[in-house]
Chain A
Amino acid sequence: MSSILSVRGLDAFIGGQQILHGVGFDVGGTGVAALLGRNGVGKTTTAKAILGLVRRHGEVRLGDGGGRRIDSELTHRIVGRGVGYVPEDREVFGRLTVAENLELAVRDTRPNYELVYGLFPELAARAKQLAGTLSGGQQQMVALARVLLNENRLLIVDEPTKGLAPLVVTEVADALAAAAQTVPMLLIEQNLAVVSRLARDVVVMAEGRVVHTGRAADLFADQDRLQQLLGVHQTAEAKA
């Protein structure tokens, strides 16, 4: 199966310190690959390194059949190639309205407002509201809507359910599931119920390195491995 994103030997640096050491993995051309690991292992840094938001060396290729190297390109170039990014902590522009946040994100000539307002009708209702006054869940919807307006070849989504109430978590997971049907996704998540619902592949990190890759189903079936890598028990049947 072809991969949409291929990472080899990725090192990344923040403030003079090396955070990632030779990270390597693939994201398949369809479905969701989940990037897992305890807090502070470098998952967010990996996402940022792929996007060029932190200093990095290594090989990152986007596209099937070998793809094109993006590891020395500027962020806006990479995103312009069709990479949608939903950052940790949402990062919506608080002093802009919801409508302005969406308008800013438009890249294509025909942005898909029907899809976005269909998934998140609240955003249409709150179009003129300042994004900074929204709840966490609503801001997450704005962050997701931003990327879904455009056609993407890959989505990189970082901890979308962080700090959200269970009901909202379900809504977000539903939206992600819908998006994942047409676009491959690299998903960073701590909520293993969400991961087991959405992910086909998993990549596990520890201390800035990749320590395990494989099928999600295999990992979730192996409680000992799960405990060893992530320090948790999780049953796949728990409601996502």
Chain B
Amino acid sequence: MRRLIRPAIAIAITVLLALLPELTISIPGVLPGPTYTVGTQQLLALCLLVGALAVTYDLLFGLTGLLSFGHALYFAVGVYGFAIALQVWHLAFLPAALATFGIGVAAAAVVGAISLRVEGISFAMVTLAFAQAGSLFVYRNFGGFTGGDEGLGLARADLPSSLLGVANTVNLYWLALAVAVLVYAAIAWLARSRAGRVMAAVRENELRVQVIGLRPYLVRWIAFVAAGSLATLVGMAYLLVQGGASPQVTTSSFTLSLLVMVVLGGVGARWGALVGGIVYTLLDQRLTVLAASSRVDSFPAVLRVPLSQPLFILGTLFVLVVLFLPGGLAGVSQRLRRQHEDGRSVLPDPDPEPTVSSLEGVG
């Protein structure tokens, strides 16, 4: 019976979210308007996608213990790749989507194979290097099709009519919800599978994994490719919701903000990452609006300057969470079990909790 509770909650939440545009829920100060309005639907779609992206990052960092500073690259492949496939190569919608996904998988496979040859901080730096190269490629507009600083806009002719127009914003919301649910379910399934339990075991104790004859490199690579591919998928949906590609998504700051989201939500707790992503996006968007509002202008400079900068508030919040709430939002409700590995740090329990012994009998 207990085993059914979690999926039941997930389904209930999904149904509620799907129904939101039909309802008249207002959260003043948080949402720009009631949930049947276009502005709110756009914002919620964005939140869901960024939340899904955070969950893919949690697969890398929380579950498998891979600190990557270049995850934004695969998301950017989704955003830019889809835009280019539609606009520059003039592919039809579905072929463009498939092609973009294929490129994302390939990119993650290649970069992962190379990067995973090293570990720890070296791995982090290599992923940073590749992502930075990608970012340079976009910003400098090599080849002339990335749009450089200005990004790429989407033309109406490239999209199916069901996604065009203000009235169809609700379709974009449901698309975002569908993608988010798909990504979340896929990662939950992966984490519970044999491969997923090995990923968690590799994070905890690589030596024992090797001793029972499994290969950490392969397992990590699978996690890397899965995370990257799903990020590409999210990126494609993001392009549609945003209506264009902005080079900001290729920056290392963007990956760092993913890190912030995952830590805020609680490392290793999937729903925590989703919530972290949603909260971060909401805070970012709403604080920007607050900053521009006349109310803040009247504050004294000491308050006004920090409050006018969403990143200041988010950065400070992040520091406070790391210092005082290492489990993030999920940790507040979950029990933490500390493991100091030779002076290394703490990751809270993932969910479900794997042990190497549960892998005995695995081929």
Instruction: Please say whether the chains A and B touch (CB closer than 8 A).
Output: yes
B353 close to A (CB within 8 Å): no
The answer to whether B340 and A55 touch across the interface, beta carbons within 8 angstroms, is yes
Q: Which of A13, A15, A54 contacts B207 (CB 8 A)?
A: A15
Q: Among A14, A15, A17, find the residue whose CB has the most chain B CB atoms closer than 10 A.
A: A15
**A-chain residues with CB within 8 Å of residue B205 when the two chains form the complex:** 15-17
Chain A stretch 195-216: residues in CB contact (< 8 A) with chain B = none
Between B204, B208, B339, B342, the greatest number of chain A beta carbons within 10 A of the residue's beta carbon is seen for B342
Closest-by-CB residue of B relative to A54 is B342
A51 to chain B, nearest CB (A): 14
Which residues of B pack against A, CB within 8 Å?
204-205, 207-208, 339-342
* Cα separation A16 to B338 with both chains bound (whole Å): 10
Residues of A within 8 A of B339 (CB): 16
A residues 1-38 near B (Cβ < 8 Å) are: 13-17
Closest to B204 in A: A16
A14, B342: Cβ atoms closer than 8 Å:
yes
Min C-beta distance of B154 to chain A, whole Å: 49
Chain B facing A: main interface SS? loop
Contacts A13-B340, A54-B342, A55-B342 known; list 12 others, CB within 8 Å: A14-B342, A15-B205, A15-B207, A15-B341, A15-B342, A16-B204, A16-B205, A16-B339, A16-B341, A17-B205, A17-B208, A55-B340
Could you list some 5 contacts between A and B, CB below 8 A?
A13-B340, A15-B341, A15-B342, A16-B341, A17-B205
Q: Which residues of A contact B342 (CB under 8 A)?
A: 14-15, 54-55
Residues of B within 8 A of A13 (CB): 340
Minimum CB–CB distance from A209 to chain B (whole Å) comes to 20
B207 — which chain A residues lie within 8 A by C-beta? 15
Q: Which A-B residue pairs are the 4 nearest by beta carbons?
A: A16-B205, A15-B341, A55-B340, A16-B339
What is the CB-to-nearest-CB distance from B199 to chain A, in angstroms, rounded to a whole number? 15
Among residues of A, the one whose C-beta sits closest to the C-beta of B340 is A55
Kindly provide the distance from the CB of B204 to the nearest chain A CB, expressed in whole angstroms: 5
Nearest-neighbour CB distance to chain B for A56, whole angstroms, equals 11
How far does the Cβ of B157 sit from chain A's closest Cβ, in whole Å? 57
B201 to chain A, nearest CB (A): 10
| A54 cross-chain contacts in B, Cβ below 8 A | 342
In angstroms, Cα B341 to Cα A14, docked, is 6
> From residue 38 to 56 of chain A, which have CB atoms closer than 8 A to chain B?
54-55
Contacts of A15 in B (CB 8 A): 205, 207, 341-342
In whole angstroms, what is the CA distance A17 to B201 when docked? 12
Max chain A C-beta neighbours (<10 A), residue from B205, B208, B341: B341
Q: How far is the CB of B200 from chain A (nearest CB, A)?
A: 12
Q: Closest approach, in angstroms, between the C-beta of B356 and any C-beta of chain A?
A: 10
Neighbouring B residues of A17 by C-beta, 8 Å: 205, 208
The complex places the Cα of A14 from the Cα of B208 at a distance, in Å, of 12
How many whole Å from A114's CB to the nearest CB in chain B? 38
CB distance from B342 to the nearest CB of A (A): 6
Contacts of B204 in A (CB 8 A): 16
What is the distance, in angstroms, from B131's C-beta to the closest C-beta of chain A?
30
Query: Cα distance A14–B340 when bound, in Å?
Result: 9
Shortest CB distance A8–B (Å): 22
Cβ contacts under 8 Å, A14 to chain B: 342
Give complex CA distance A55, B340 in Å: 7
Q: Report the bound CA distance from A214 to B342 in whole Å.
A: 33
CB distance from A74 to the nearest CB of B (A): 11
A136 to chain B, nearest CB (A): 26
Residues of chain A lying within 8 A (CB to CB) of residue B208? 17
Q: Report how far A13 CA is from B344 CA in the complex, Å.
A: 13
Q: Which chain B positions have C-beta within 8 A of A16?
A: 204-205, 339, 341
Closest A residue by C-beta to B206 = A15
- In angstroms, Cα B343 to Cα A55, docked, is 8
Minimum distance in angstroms from A72 CB to a CB of chain B: 13
* Residue from A16, A54, A55 whose CB has the most chain B CB atoms within 10 Å: A16
Q: Which chain A residues lie closer than 8 Å to B340 at the CB level?
A: 13, 55
A97 to chain B minimum Cβ distance, whole angstroms, is: 28
Q: In the complex, what distance in Å separates the CA atom of A9 from the CA atom of B204?
A: 26
Q: What are the residues of chain A within 8 A of B341 when measuring CB–CB?
A: 15-16
**Min CB distance, B108 to chain A, in Å?**
29
Q: How far is it, in angstroms, between the C-alpha of A16 and the C-alpha of B342 when the chains are bound?
A: 9
Chain A, 163-192, CB within 8 A of any chain B CB: none
A17, closest chain B residue (CB): B205
Complex Cα spacing A44 to B223, Å: 36
Of A14, A54, A55, chain B has the most CB atoms within 10 Å of the CB of A55
A73 → chain B closest CB, angstroms: 15
Across the interface, name the chain B residue whose C-beta is closest to A15. Answer: B341
* Chain B residue nearest to A55 in the complex (CB): B340
Bound-state Cα–Cα, A13 to B208, Å? 14
Instruction: Give the CA-CA distance A17 to B340 in the complex, in Å.
Output: 11
